[in-house]
């Protein structure tokens, strides 16, 4: 239960954007369920993702997800693990082949998104908790079985290649942060 309480506490301290504000009570409600961290929990469950940047923080690493057929950040199911940061880190390593990151364990972004039905599982929601990871330069990326491709993108490229609002929101957040650091 410590992990569940830790996530609830982290969500209560999280400085969410206006766009994310409606997600907070939904996350809190989901976390009342004992199986919220299991992929079998319906209509949705907790997932962990990583917004991976290069050291200069000028590019993000995205995976072209095989089942969803779109470019997204690396991430996946908690599968019972209540330490969602460790889930995000594990998924980033597995899906990109990168093993060394500078990491902050504070929540970077949250999202709730619908995953389409597959023949073996109904449509459901991912309650995704995202963490910012910075990859140490010089590491090679590897495409996992879950993806068609893994690639670094400049932020402007991302804006031109996807209409996934949550991905664009993470780009906007990093650009705003960099702008504030310059002033």
Q: How does the average pLDDT of the chain come out, rounded?
A: 93
23 phi/psi in degrees, rounded to 5: -75, -30
| Residue-wise pLDDT tens digits, 20-79 | 999 999 999 999 999 999 999 999 999 999 999 999 999 999 999 888 888 999 999 999
| Residue-wise pLDDT tens digits, 140-160 | 998 888 888 999 999 999 999
CATH code assigned at 55: 3.90.79.10
Cα 66 to Cα 148: distance, rounded to the nearest angstrom: 6
Give the domain extent around 89: 2-182
- pTM attached to this predicted model: 0.94
Q: Which residues make Cβ contacts (< 8 Å) with residue 51, sequence separation at least 6?
A: 60, 73, 108, 109, 130, 131, 132, 133, 170, 174
The total domain count for the chain is 1
pLDDT of 1 higher than 60: no
């Amino acid at each position: 239960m410590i992990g569940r309480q830790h996530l609830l506490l982290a969500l209560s301290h999280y400085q969410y954007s206006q766009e994310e504000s409606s997600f907070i009570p939904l996350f809190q409600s989901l976390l009342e369920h004992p199986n919220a961290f299991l992929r079998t929990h319906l209509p949705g469950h907790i997932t962990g993702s990583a917004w991976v940047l290069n050291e200069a923080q000028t590019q993000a690493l995205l995976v072209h997800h095989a089942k969803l057929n779109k470019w997204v950040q690396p991430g996946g199911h908690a599968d019972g693990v209540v330490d969602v940061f460790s889930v995000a880190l594990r998924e980033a390593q597995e899906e990109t082949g990168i093993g060394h990151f500078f990491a902050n364990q504070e929540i970077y972004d949250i999202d709730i998104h619908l995953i389409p039905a597959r023949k073996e599982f109904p449509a459901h929601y991912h309650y995704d908790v995202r963490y910012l990871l910075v990859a140490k330069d010089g590491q090679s990326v590897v495409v996992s079985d879950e993806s068609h491709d893994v690639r670094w993108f400049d932020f402007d490229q991302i804006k031109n290649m996807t209409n996934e609002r949550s991905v664009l929101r993470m780009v906007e957040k990093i650009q705003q942060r960099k702008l504030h650091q310059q002033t």
